[in-house]
């Protein structure tokens, strides 16, 4: 080895203080965002079996949960709505009295310093579980219609912003969704509402616990026709550039851990704020392995999140956020 024995790299690792000083990527609660599932009712707190430690909760319980999380250092939440009834058009998503809209208003009143981000999609609200409105293809099969979905996504975003959301986050992976939402927000006098786009969202098996939580698994087919193929890397930069051109203030890669190379590639291609979503399957896999005694939960969580930060993420969406405050 060139330089040995004069150059000994282990010298920089022997002292714990020096190791920390040279540690590079560091986690902070200021960059963590925690998902929260809100539904109708009073006093509802339904455990999500495949997502340990998280619940389907009513608005009143969600406010108290967010207050508790804020006390642990969580400064931002990402809201997902679970309606009472689902239909083919996902009409509940735009309801000004829907659980997301109600919770946004309560949070901005009771916890004004908490950053409130809302997911903008149709999969939680449609009875077929897809992220957009359906149409009949040339061969007679049903498929998701891109362009006719844009108007609905824009209406959802406006309803969230009118309730007080700081950031809306379109996740449907419809081409043109950012432009449609930006135009509608601006025309509605909501130009200050930011957009965090799920820009690079892969069709992944790691979403299953989330689908349990929101009851949004597709009732036919899958989402490979609009979400990215996990074998494809080149389209990620094109997606990022397009969303930024359309008006996205922040962009996102999802999932995070299995796609560190994509996070790094997108980071190198743009200086826009970049979020990464450590999705439900990543979280639940660590939880399950820890429960079986196969690894240390805290160490695995901190290491995996640090890797996401090291790859280039500015913000991290993670179900570990409430625990992380004590750990770091």
List residues with catalytic annotation.
Answer: 201, 254
Q: Which helix H or strand E contains 50, and what residues bound it?
A: none
Q: Return the residue matching tokens 């495949």.
A: 50
Give strand ranges (E) for 125-240. Answer: 134-136, 142-144, 167-170, 194-201
CA distance linking residue 95 with residue 73, whole number of Å: 31
Residue 253 has φ and ψ, to the nearest 5°, of: -115, 135
Neighbours of 310 (CB within 10 A): 15
Contact, 133 vs 125, CB < 8 A? no
CA 20/CA 328 separation, integer angstroms: 13
| Structure token pair of residue 181 | 């939402």
As a whole number of angstroms, the distance between CA 171 and CA 78 comes to: 12
Coil, strand or helix: which one is 317? strand
Q: How many residues does the chain have?
A: 328
Residue 184 near residue 155 (C-beta atoms within 8 A)? yes
What are 286's two structure tokens? 């660590």
268 CA to centre of own chain: 21
């Amino acid at each position: 080895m060139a330089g040995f024995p004069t150059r000994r790299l282990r010298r920089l690792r022997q002292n714990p203080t020096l190791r920390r000083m040279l540690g590079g990527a560091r986690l902070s609660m200021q960059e963590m965002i925690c998902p929260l599932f809100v539904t109708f009712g009073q006093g509802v707190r339904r455990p999500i079996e495949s997502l340990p430690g998280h619940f389907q909760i009513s608005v009143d319980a969600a406010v108290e949960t967010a207050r508790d999380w804020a006390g642990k250092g969580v400064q931002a939440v990402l809201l997902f709505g679970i309606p009472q009834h689902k239909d083919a058009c996902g009409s509940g998503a735009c309801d000004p009295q829907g659980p997301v809209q109600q919770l946004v208003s309560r949070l901005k009143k009771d916890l004004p310093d908490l950053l409130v981000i809302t997911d903008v999609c149709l999969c939680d609200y449609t009875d077929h579980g897809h992220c957009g409105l359906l149409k009949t293809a040339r061969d007679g099969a049903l498929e998701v219609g891109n362009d006719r979905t844009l108007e609905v996504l824009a209406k959802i975003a406006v309803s969230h912003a009118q309730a007080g959301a700081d950031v809306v986050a379109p996740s449907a992976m419809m081409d043109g969704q950012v432009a449609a939402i930006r135009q509608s927000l601006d025309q509605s006098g909501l130009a200050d509402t930011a957009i965090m786009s799920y820009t690079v969202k892969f069709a992944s098996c790691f979403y299953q616990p989330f689908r349990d939580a929101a009851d949004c698994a597709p009732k036919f087919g899958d989402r490979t026709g609009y979400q990215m193929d996990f074998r494809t890397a080149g389209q990620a930069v094109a997606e990022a550039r397009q969303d930024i051109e359309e008006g996205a203030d922040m962009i996102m890669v999802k999932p995070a851990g299995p796609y560190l190379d994509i996070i790094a590639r997108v980071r190198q291609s743009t200086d826009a704020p970049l979020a990464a979503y450590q999705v439900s399957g990543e979280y639940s896999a660590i939880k399950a392995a820890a429960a079986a005694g196969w690894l240390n939960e805290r160490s695995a969580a901190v290491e995996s999140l640090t890797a996401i930060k090291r790859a280039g993420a500015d913000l991290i969406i993670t179900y570990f956020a409430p625990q992380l405050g004590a750990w770091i």
